[in-house]
Structure 1
Amino acid sequence: MKYSIPLVAILALLLAVSCKKDLTIKASSFSESHVPGNYILDAPEDWWHWCMAPIYDESGRLHVFMSAIPNNGSWIKDSKIVHYTASSPEGPYTFVDTTFASKTHTYHNPQISKVDDTYVLVYLWKSRDTPNENQEIGMATAKSLDGPWTESPNNPIIKASGTQGDGAYIIHASNPTFLKDKDGKFRVYYKSMSDAYGTKRHREISMAMSDNIEGPYVNYAENPLISYADKGLDIEDCYAFYYKGMYYMIVEDRKGVKNMLEGNPIPEKEIRPGGNRPGLIYKSKDGINWGRPEIGYKTNEQYFGDKLARTERPHILWKNGEPEYLFLACHDDDPSAGFYVKIDGWIPNE
């Protein structure tokens, strides 16, 4: 006996297939604009460099602030912020000074901005004597990139304590990024960790705001803004900026958020933590409610065909209000601080 499938059933099946939602995290126009550059800023012998924060001065000279850590030490206790200059991203680079170092605190993961005539440097700031998780955020300002720098009287501007909107206790505040918002207020986005899920803490993104550059900064009542802690996944190393009427945030996908959002999560025992995968970029009209991400940057393997290493800490070098280069920390066995890619003709998606 022959059986025929009713036409209506066939149409329903075809409609269901055509309407299936595409969960692919697509490449952003930002990532597609990247042109690979080169590895830069090799560390002196017995040291390693990390986390380049680039900015041009008024004369067009490039300045880079970054972390320097002794090979026989630890960034948790021994990191300092050093300052180099060059005429262009390609280099060569000249050492200028050690901007911040301390026998009592570690200075790490700087990010540099300019507001009107003031340079603003934010950084991870941690006492040598506190547990690793008790990281905090500091800020310093100057009228010249050569200093003198004045640390905020409110330091640490974001402490490793406080209450999130859901009542969870913040035990960690680090890796800050600073911007002036469209209303003239100041925001610091940062990596937080809370006890919302008990003792197993996960990296997420929170925000604090102030009417004044130096603070005091007040945590947003509904922090965290972006979190996958309920999935057991991390994001960190945010770089936030306001451009052409939209807020953007580039982050490190530390544990496979992309895979989870696409419906194919990586089994926990197979996740390789750190920047061993492409980063993500989010956009928002208000800088508070962030949508579904796209690919924000690639790995060193994808850009250069090199052995995969940790690609992290995105920072944009701006020129005349336009993003010109993306700097990325990259380190396993390589002596360089990382590499840069040119942002060539980026037109943000509508």
Structure 2
Amino acid sequence: MKFKILVLLCIIFFSVSCKKDLSIKESAFSKSHVTGDYILDAPDNWWHWGIAPIYDTSNKLHVFMSAIPNDGSWIKDSKIVHYTAKSPEGPYTFVDTTFTSKTHTYHNPQVSRVNNTYVLVYLLKNRETPNINQEIGIATSKSLDGPWTESPHNPIIKASGKQGDGSNILHASNPTFIKDKNGKFRIYYKSITDAYGSERHREISLALSDNIEGPYKNYENNPLISYADKGLDIEDCYAFLYKGFYYMIVEDRKGVKDMLEGKRNDKNKPGGWRPGLIYKSEDGIYWGKPEVGYKTNEQYFGDKLARTERPHILWKNGEPEYLFLACHDEDPSAGFFVKIEGWTPN
């Protein structure tokens, strides 16, 4: 009898010890965040969205972001505006409207520097086309104050062609640009697939070029990260290369974390109502299991939960100094920042 009990206890112990850990842990990156503040209130009758920050060579802070009239729509009326400050806390001074057009909307910029060239990538959409037909543009400048030169290849990623999975590239938006380990140039972006029935799903794809201005060619095995087969979305990728590894921060739009942990919730409201995810990769092509990459405004500030999206890092001397996030709620700000303190990648 004692032997049978011992065997049973051994079986239970073995089963428990071998049970796969499905938890999505909070990353060291997320744990390093120190709560900052909301910034960049919009003028009357306008709203701001997203914050793409960068220092110039004299350590003056520049930010580029979307500005949309209250009586309009970002789908048709967004423009990219430029502000400066001495520090993330502000105050911020309006510099100029970097991109605006009567025929196109300019939205969701991301800014980088490659040697002595500044690179701005953005969502570019003809006002008259359906919402799904978003595309991507790129511009370069020797100064953050401009003038900016748009690539002759724009839109460099078009809402046409085929993905690696055979689905149509209906949509290309929300780009993030990096120079890779081989000196080539990559744009990771949000694509939308129609490969799984009538419903469309957001995922992450890649285009590559030998030149900053392009032309860019879609990676043959796109998409790189997708949960479309699960009926789930991710978007708003921010990619970077740090200490020999590629990283990507994304918005968990429909509850990928829940699904990976085996506790899927199909009633999740779509959008940035939950913490974001961060991925790590040796080659920037194959990405493993994510961790929690950033938190919500509710978790950082104790405020009423709002959509927290569009992650961007402010770099200083090659080190990540601040994380900026868009936040859309009743507050007039473009979003908020958190300081990155003592992050040591695993």
Letter in 2 for 1:71: N
Give per-residue Cα distances to partners, 1:60-97, cap 9 Å, x unaligned. 00000000000000000000000000000000000000
Q: For 1:292 and 1:155, how far apart are their aligned partners in 2?
A: 34
CA RMSD of aligned residues (A): 1.0
1:257, CA displacement in angstroms? 0.3
Query: Which ranges of structure 2 fall in alignment gaps of 5 or more residues?
Result: none
Query: Hey, what does 1:22 align to over in structure 2?
Result: 21
Q: State the TM-score, normalizing by the size of structure 2.
A: 0.99
Give per-residue Cα distances to partners, 1:269-307, cap 9 Å, x unaligned. x21111000000000000000000000000000000000
Ranges of 4+ aligned residues in structure 1 off by more than 4 Å: none
Matched, 1:344 2:345: no
Query: Hey, what does 2:135 align to over in structure 1?
Result: 136
Give per-residue Cα distances to partners, 1:183-234, cap 9 Å, x unaligned. 0000000000122113211000000000000110000000000000011000
* Aligned partners of 2:193 and 2:228 also within 8 Å: no
Q: For 1:285 and 1:184, how far apart are their aligned partners in 2?
A: 15
Query: Hey, what does 2:30 align to over in structure 1?
Result: 31
* Match among 319, 325, 342 for residue 316 of structure 2: 319
1:5, CA displacement in angstroms? 3.5
1:4, CA displacement in angstroms? 7.6
Q: For 1:20 and 1:3, how far apart are their aligned partners in 2?
A: 26
After TM superposition, the structure 1 stretch with the greater mean CA deviation from structure 2, 131-140 or 195-204, is 195-204
1:220-259 → structure 2 map (5 Å cutoff): 220-259=219-258
* Match among 276, 279, 287 for residue 276 of structure 2: 279
- Secondary structure of the equivalent of 1:188? strand
- Secondary structure of the equivalent of 2:84? strand
1:50, CA displacement in angstroms? 0.4
Query: Hey, what does 2:51 align to over in structure 1?
Result: 52
- Secondary structure of the equivalent of 1:113? strand
After TM superposition, the structure 1 stretch with the greater mean CA deviation from structure 2, 8-17 or 336-345, is 8-17
Report % sequence identity: 78
Q: For 2:3 and 2:187, how far apart are their aligned partners in 1?
A: 64
Q: For 1:80 and 1:109, how far apart are their aligned partners in 2?
A: 9
Query: Hey, what does 1:100 align to over in structure 2?
Result: 99
Matched, 1:305 2:338: no
Task: Count residues with an aligned counterpart.
Answer: 346
Q: State the TM-score, normalizing by the size of structure 1.
A: 0.98
Query: Hey, what does 1:85 align to over in structure 2?
Result: 84
Query: Which ranges of structure 1 fall in alignment gaps of 5 or more residues?
Result: none
Give per-residue Cα distances to partners, 1:26-59, cap 9 Å, x unaligned. 0000000000000000000000000100000000
